[in-house]
Amino acid sequence: MRSVVSSSQSESHKMFPSYQQRRGKYHASRLIHLGWRHRSFSAYEQLTRVAVLTSLAAMRVVPVAGGSVATAMVQVLFALRPLRPPLKCGACSQIGPIPLLRYRLWCAGIEAGWRQPARGRHYSIFLAMLTIVALLPGCATAPLVQGASLSSYDGLKPSDGKITRSRLHVSKEQVAAAKTINIASTAFPSAAAPTLSNEQRALVANAVNRALCISLSDRFKVVEPSVPADLTVHAAITRATETNEVAAGISVVASIGTKFVDAGVPIPTPRIPIGLGELSIEAEALDRANRQQAAMVWGRGAQAFFSSARVSKAGDAYELAGAFGDDFATLLNKGVSPFDGTGIDLPTWQKVNSNLGLAPKYAACDAYGRSPGVAGLVGGKLGFPPEWTDDGPNGTTRP
């Protein structure tokens, strides 16, 4: 037989049917709120702080980088930012003895607590997107700088890539008939980059020769420069701007710092678009009669999203030198512009081995030293200067 107390409690539930619902909802919301605060919120709080600080820094940078597009997209993102969800409480019509205003405020607080975790995630993602958009001005393309090293500039036609500008021409049949090739030393006059040291200019010029030699080995037999060949490659750097070491260092620290934030998803960490280096090179391939069979004037700038930050004035020029070597080698290997078509070419085994620091396919490439390999890849991710990881031609440029 039930007691009077239990009976009165049962009757109270009948009198106030919303009591049990409110009580269960309150306890559930408290558990979720406490679990979120003590377990997960710290990670998103860190992400939010990082995103806010980076956004503020990016906003300061946008006027310097010419961010008219970024400003417009920032306004769009603010218009699409996650709004606070409307508050609902199904039991608000069943007031019982509780005053209407107090009960609505209580329900609103519970509903806000339920949606707090999701809102935190949304704002963290929104701030990360805002940071990326603010850094869009760092994706400008370097201007083409024509020198006077080519035997002829006639017949050069524009052929631009997504992030590269170039003017080129190639005699496909004559190039396809060639079997052997040699590579002259790349010229890098001090006037093209007066702020770089002699050692840094030698390192960048050697990186051009090494990239050319490794990539051309896919189709041609590479011989020593003193040995006559069907084609002879001459290249000259016409302009190289220095990398801002302070901005590169901050970008490296920010990239490493985000690795310690447990956000559940990868956090994009683009570079600060200040002082990104640019490189312009021109090159040609001459046959045995010194007739030009292929030529290219090439220019590219480092990208905030796709270029590794190295704390060195020659950091970006060093990486772009390898990109030029690949593009000019593609022009000779295939006889067509490297920017035509959308197919993806997988690297050959000899190219993979050479880039990992193993012996190249032809002994002539050893004159430019071995690639840094894994040490260079790790050093690039950590922002090490290329002078630390690249021995240069036969170890002559490392300090």
Starting at the edge strand found earlier in the chain, the sheet holding 278-286 runs 157-158, 164-170, 292-301, 278-286, 231-240, 180-183, 221-222
Per the rule left: phi > 0, alpha: psi between -120 and 50, beta: everything else, 122 is alpha
Q: Are 126 and 79 in contact (CB under 8 A)?
A: no
Residue 133 has pLDDT above 70, yes or no: no
Task: Output b/e per residue, 274-312; b: 16+ Cβ within 10 A.
Answer: bbbbbbbbbbbbbbeeeebbbbbbbbbbbbbeebbbbbb
Average pLDDT rounded to a whole number, residues 59-64: 41
Percent share of the chain, pLDDT over 70: 59
Name the least confident of 147-161, 193-207, 265-279, 379-393: 265-279
Query: Is the pTM higher than 0.85?
Result: no
How many angstroms separate the CA atoms of 163 and 142, rounded? 9
Q: Spell out the domain ranges in the chain.
A: 4-137, 140-242+277-395
Name the least confident of 181-195, 267-281, 303-317: 267-281
Confidence (pLDDT) at 342: 61
Q: Distances in Å between the alpha carbon of 191 and those of 9, 149, 238?
A: 92, 14, 9
Confidence (pLDDT) at 115: 46
Q: Are 248 and 271 in contact (CB under 8 A)?
A: yes
How many angstroms separate the CA atoms of 288 and 350, rounded? 27
Per-residue pLDDT of 9-27, as tens digits, reads: 444 444 444 444 455 445 4
Residue 81 has pLDDT above 50, yes or no: no
* Residue 61 banded pLDDT, cuts 50, 70, 90: very low
* Residue 35 banded pLDDT, cuts 50, 70, 90: very low
How many angstroms separate the CA atoms of 332 and 183, rounded? 13
Number of neighbours of residue 210 by Cβ within 10 angstroms: 28
Confidence (pLDDT) at 382: 83
Q: What burial class does residue 158 get, using C-beta atoms within 10 Å of its C-beta: 0-12 exposed, 13-18 middle, 19+ buried?
A: exposed
Name the least confident of 72-86, 98-112, 320-334, 344-358: 72-86
How many angstroms separate the CA atoms of 398 and 369, rounded? 12
Phi, psi for 148 (deg, rounded to 5): -140, 25
DSSP 8-state symbol, 344: -
How many angstroms separate the CA atoms of 19 and 4, rounded? 20
In sequence order, what E strands does the chain have?
157-158, 164-170, 180-183, 221-222, 231-240, 278-286, 292-301
Both tokens of residue 40? 């997960």
